[in-house]
Amino acid sequence: MTPTDQIKNALFKLVRLTAAEWQVFAQNLEEVNFRKNDFLCPIGQVEQYIYFIHTGLARVYFQKESEELTLNFHFENEFVTSFSSFLTQTPSRVAVQALDKVHASRIHYRAINALYNQSHNGERIGRLIAESLYLAKTNREIDLLSLSAEEQYQNLLQKNPKFISHLSVKHLASYLGIQPESLSRIRNKIGR
Amino acid sequence: MTPTDQIKNALFKLVRLTAAEWQVFAQNLEEVNFRKNDFLCPIGQVEQYIYFIHTGLARVYFQKESEELTLNFHFENEFVTSFSSFLTQTPSRVAVQALDKVHASRIHYRAINALYNQSHNGERIGRLIAESLYLAKTNREIDLLSLSAEEQYQNLLQKNPKFISHLSVKHLASYLGIQPESLSRIRNKIGR
DNA sequence: CGCCGAGTTGAACTGAATCAAGAAACGTGG
DNA sequence: CCACGTTTCTTGATTCAGTTCAACTCGGCG
């Protein structure tokens, strides 16, 4: 399956675009590569693109004084960008960083907006993506409010084992809102 | 200004609908009233409506064992519903409750979907609302991860004084993810 | 007038942070 | 492919923010 087909599959799960609509989108795709630790979007920059990850993974994090707070991780076959910056076209409060070599395709803000303007279906894809982002954040909000660090880790073990197997203690801890030392103790206590 | 005009204003700030499009929406509005502590949507119910609050206020909360965790408050001229349940049409994990007498208008899920299907502009309103919900949740996520209870309270004092003036210590504490006793101490320490 | 829920205050407790130090893993150059 | 330096992970000791439990105050309402 070609990179472009990967994206087509992901989008068509939401809405089936016409051939013409898909063309508007596909014409504007551009393949890009990042090395480990490169920034897809650094803090302060206005995000111009949505990325679709073909291979590799990325994290989105916020810098709070000396520590980094991770908001999310994104893996293969997922879209990633500093959505807040992209949507509002204002400087990003968060950084998007490759945690590994990343091969991605990206599409420019203008192309997305062209699609929204030209196509009702395109607009719908935008709505469905925004809704699913909202749902994910709501679930996370409930977790952050209601679970202790240990419960959250147990939760990940069940629902997102990929997180635990692919991410460093440091990054995982910052996602859970705790210090690496604490996560280390939790892992030790639970027995991996 | 009539209740319907209030809604029209709120929507038209996002996108200007045509007269025909607005008709589809307006025809399906229904005014409803709730007494203090009534549920607009109890836990477990599939949310059928989006509400627009003309007067009063409501909160959205999650029940975790014996305690209630508040996800949000909604005031006059705002939309409210159990969005997750509404969007997915699955039983609600959260309750939406009137904190005072509430006068609202509501529109049914089917009517919203009819609007989405018939109108590109309607779809766009849906997208913009979903995006703004997402942005709000992202900001809250950053606050929950990065701020101590006291910092969060200071934050509210600046950005959401309405919360502090209109809400009980109990509800506000559950929104901040702390116990009422802790919030009481913070208020005392800061000097109101 | 008396009750009842909401708010406050105090004392003891606890989960997680912090600071510090050592062990393991990692990648970079010789 | 090994040696070295750097980062990451773990473990221990101490501290701290926030919880818990209990008692007391206050204001509103029957």
Name the β-bridge partners of A98: A58
Q: Is residue A190 part of a domain?
A: no
Confidence class for position A1, pLDDT limits 50, 70, 90: confident
Convert the pLDDT of each residue in B68-118 to its tens digit. 999 999 999 999 999 999 999 999 999 999 999 999 999 999 999 999 999
Q: Please give the model's pTM, rounded to 2 decimal places.
A: 0.95
- Given a contact cutoff of 8 angstroms between Cβ atoms, the answer to whether B128 and A124 are in contact is no
Query: Positive or negative, the Cα torsion across A82, A176, B179, B42?
Result: positive
Closest CA to A123 of B126, B124, B130: B124
- B182 CA to C11 C1' in angstroms comes to 14
Place of tokens 């409501």: B58
Convert the pLDDT of each residue in B153-183 to its tens digit. 999 999 999 999 999 999 999 999 999 999 9
| A157 at interface of B, judged by CB pairs closer than 8 A | no
Q: Is residue B70 part of a domain?
A: yes
CA B35/CA B29 separation, integer angstroms: 20
Of B62, B88, B146, the CB nearest to A142: B62
Nearest CA in chain B to A141: B141
Q: Which residues of A touch B126 (CB under 8 A)?
A: 127
Q: Is residue A87 part of a domain?
A: yes
Q: Is residue B38 part of a domain?
A: yes
**With an 8 Å Cβ cutoff, are B144 and A177 in contact?**
yes
Average pLDDT over residues A142-170: 93
Average pLDDT over residues B10-30: 94
Confidence class for position A192, pLDDT limits 50, 70, 90: low
What is the pLDDT at residue B64? Answer: 87
Percent of chain A with pLDDT over 90: 94
Query: Positive or negative, the Cα torsion across B166, B168, B172, B174?
Result: negative
Distances (CA, A) of B41 to A27, A69, A106, B66, B183: 45, 34, 40, 19, 28
**DSSP-derived secondary structure for B64-89:** ETTEEEEEEEE-TT-EES-HHHHHHT
Confidence class for position B65, pLDDT limits 50, 70, 90: confident
Average confidence score pLDDT of chain A: 94
Helix (H, G, I), strand (E, B) or coil at A1: coil
Helix (H, G, I), strand (E, B) or coil at A72: strand
Name the β-bridge partners of A72: A60
Q: Is residue B189 part of a domain?
A: no
What is the pLDDT at residue A112? Answer: 97
pLDDT at residue A191 greater than cutoff 80: no
Q: Is residue B169 part of a domain?
A: no
Average confidence score pLDDT of chain B: 95
DSSP state of A46: B
Q: Is residue A136 part of a domain?
A: yes
Place of tokens 């749902």: A135
CA A130/CA A119 separation, integer angstroms: 17
Average pLDDT over residues A35-45: 94
pLDDT at residue B20 greater than cutoff 60: yes
Would you tell me the crossing angle of helices A19-27 and A3-12 to the nearest 10 degrees? 130
- The torsion of the CA quartet B30, B122, B117, A27, rounded to 10 degrees, works out to -160
**With an 8 Å Cβ cutoff, are A137 and B142 in contact?**
no
Convert the pLDDT of each residue in B106-156 to its tens digit. 999 999 999 999 999 999 999 999 999 999 999 999 999 999 999 999 999
pLDDT at residue B43 greater than cutoff 80: yes
Domain count, chain A: 1
What is the pLDDT at residue B192? Answer: 56
Nearest CA in chain A to B118: A120
Residues near B54 by beta carbon (within 8 Å), at least 6 away in sequence: B3, B6, B76, B77, B103, B104, B105
DSSP state of A57: -
**Distance of residue B147 Cα from the nearest chain A Cα, in angstroms:** 9
Supply the range of the domain harboring residue B44: 3-146
CATH at A103: 2.60.120.10
Distance of CA B49 to the CA centre of its chain: 13
Q: Is residue B191 part of a domain?
A: no
| A143 at interface of B, judged by CB pairs closer than 8 A | no
